[in-house]
Structure 1
Amino acid sequence: MQKTEVSGNIIGAPSSLKKVKRIPPAISYPTVTLIIILAIWELCGRLKLIDPFMFSWPSSIMMKAWEFTLTGEVFKHLAVSAIEVGLGFAMALIGIPIGLMMGYWKKLELAFDPFVTALYTTPMIALTPLFVLWFGLETLSKVMMVFALSIFPILINTMSGVKMTDPSLIKAARSYGASEFQMFKEVIFPSAIPLMITGIRLAIGRALIAVVVAEMLAGNIGIGFAIRHASELFQTAEYLAYVVVLMVLSVLLTELLKVLEKKLAPWRHR
């Protein structure tokens, strides 16, 4: 008994010390990789291995980003681009109910799937001048570009999510007398959520591409216009600083969607 108590005291002694929390590998590994890449990139810039007229390096890019953040210039452009992306993306969410219906009713899929595929594979960016001709030079043309590029990843992934629903779950629901509405609410929709979120994540990238290209070609304000303006003046550091802003925003939006997915489909992460 004495030995047990002594060993218990020894084992229990460190419990008063604070446990150091280890950083998860999902955070530590990419962080270390990013630091190494930035250090090598910065060193190349400092050693004059990079022509500032053609490219730039991290410290110069960050200085430019800090400058237009202090002046508030970036927020003016971001506000306009955010409105255009927000409106177009909200419209593109109509792809969720359409995808649910096309995935559930085979005849509807047979009737419209070839057209969805054709439009999805069409290089919409090449149609930007046509969108400007139809909807003008103001906000509407950018909103419609965002909508056109965003809707199809959402629709197609939602449809795939419905088709991947476990047939045994559908049979069980039918055997218990579930109505069509209950089938969608309790079985089809929850099953499609993971792929639906994947479609939304893909659509975010396409939405940012759409708004930048539309603003570059036909805009006098917005992130796309700011990038075009800086590139025309050969201000490479400023040009890349705006690109970095877009990259950070896309990463933040993607991470928020991951959190949303964990809330809506917790079973996928168990």
Structure 2
Amino acid sequence: MEKVQASGNMKISSATIKNGRKIPQSISYPSVTLVLILTIWEACGRLNLIDPFMFSWPSRIFIEAKNFFVNGEVFTHLAVSGMEVGFGFAMALIGIPIGLMMGYWKKLELAFDPFVTALYTTPMIALTPLFVLWFGLETLSKVMMVFALSIFPILINTMAGVKMTELSLIKAARSYGASERQMFKEVIFPSAIPFIITGIRLAIGRALIAVVVAEMLAGNIGIGYAIRHASELFQTAEYLAYVVVLMVLSVLLTELLKIFEKKLAPWREQ
């Protein structure tokens, strides 16, 4: 009886209870931390410890965000940036089949791995002017920048996932006469799914960086352009408000990806 009661206490202590519902620590702890940071940050701003020309504080950032949400300006920029990220990221998913093949066939890896490593370690952001020269000032240059920065985390993580497949599973599949197609479908791909998802999560951040930098250097619309325009006018609060929008967007995309991973790979512990 004591053991059961102790176990129940442990379960209750592992979560915060609100309105009769348990809130997981993964939500309650970050929420408390965020409130503390925002409170201290806001207090510093109200006490004139922050120069509004150099930086800003939460209430001013919120007002600017509210303004461009009300007038709809942010949605125009988000639509353009979202389209560029969407097309570029969709193209970057070609890294999944390439990574599967390079991870499975050793000769293919030996032939191309040095080039993949060289391109991945190349500072692509520094090549933005070259992309503009090749693909012009319009949408295509931004799409290609997103593609160039996004494909390699996906490809490399997919390769790692293939290599981490348990040898016993491969031997068991072969002993039952599995074809190459069946091997990929039933053993290799399911084993690599967590690594593929990790690669996609890393690629999301790189894709957002790519589109913002490309729009800042060669764009007249989009989130990157809006950030550049606000910074040129020294509208620090508006500038930071757009940055916060990007942060929230990246977090939402990552959380959606986690949900998708749970559906696709329910056996993996979160």
Shared fold by TM > 0.5? yes
Q: Percent identical across equivalent pairs?
A: 86
| Offset of residue 232 of structure 1 | 0.1
Mean Cα displacement is larger for which, 217-226 or 258-267? Answer: 258-267
Structure-1 residue corresponding to 2:182: 182
Summarize deviations over 1:243-267 as a string: whole Å, max 9, x none: 0000000000000010111111111
Alpha-carbon displacement from aligned partner over 1:130-177 (angstroms, at most 9, x marks no partner): 000000000000000000000000000000000000000000000000
Q: How does 1:33-182 map to 2 (within 5 A)?
A: 33-182=33-182
Unaligned runs of 5+ in 1: 1-18
Match of 2:230 in 1: 230
SS of residue paired to 1:268: coil
Shift of residue 91, structure 1, vs aligned partner? 0.1
> What CA distance in whole angstroms lies between the structure 2 residues aligned with 1:211 and 1:131?
12
Q: Per-residue displacement from partner, 1:204-245 (whole Å, max 9, x unpaired)?
A: 000000000000000000000000000000000000000000
1:248 corresponds to: 248
Amino acid at match of 2:187: V
Q: How many residues align?
A: 253
Alignment gaps of 5+ in structure 2:
1-18
Q: Distance in 2 between matches of 1:251 and 1:245?
A: 10
Looking at structure 1, the residues matched to 68 and 217 of structure 2 have their Cα atoms a distance apart, in angstroms, of 22
Cα shift readout 1:9-31 (whole Å, capped 9, x = no counterpart): xxxxxxxxxx8112110000000
TM-score relative to the length of structure 1? 0.93
SS at match of 2:54: coil
Distance 1:158 1:194 in 2: 9
TM-score (norm 2): 0.93
State the shift of 1:180 in Å: 0.2
2: CA distance between counterparts of 1:22 and 1:161?
35
**1:269 correspondence with 2:269:** yes
Question: What is the letter of the counterpart of residue 39 of structure 2?
Answer: A
CA distance in 1, matches of 2:261, 2:77: 30
Residue identity in the other structure for 1:107:
K
User: For residues 226 and 47 of structure 2, what CA distance do their matches in structure 1 show?
Assistant: 29
Letter in 2 for 1:75: F
SS of 1:266's equivalent in the other structure is coil
Q: What amino acid sits opposite 2:33 in the alignment? A: T
Question: 1:155 & 1:252 partners in 2: Cα distance?
Answer: 23
Secondary structure (helix, strand or coil) at the match of 1:80 reads helix
Q: Let me know the Cα RMSD of the aligned residues.
A: 1.0
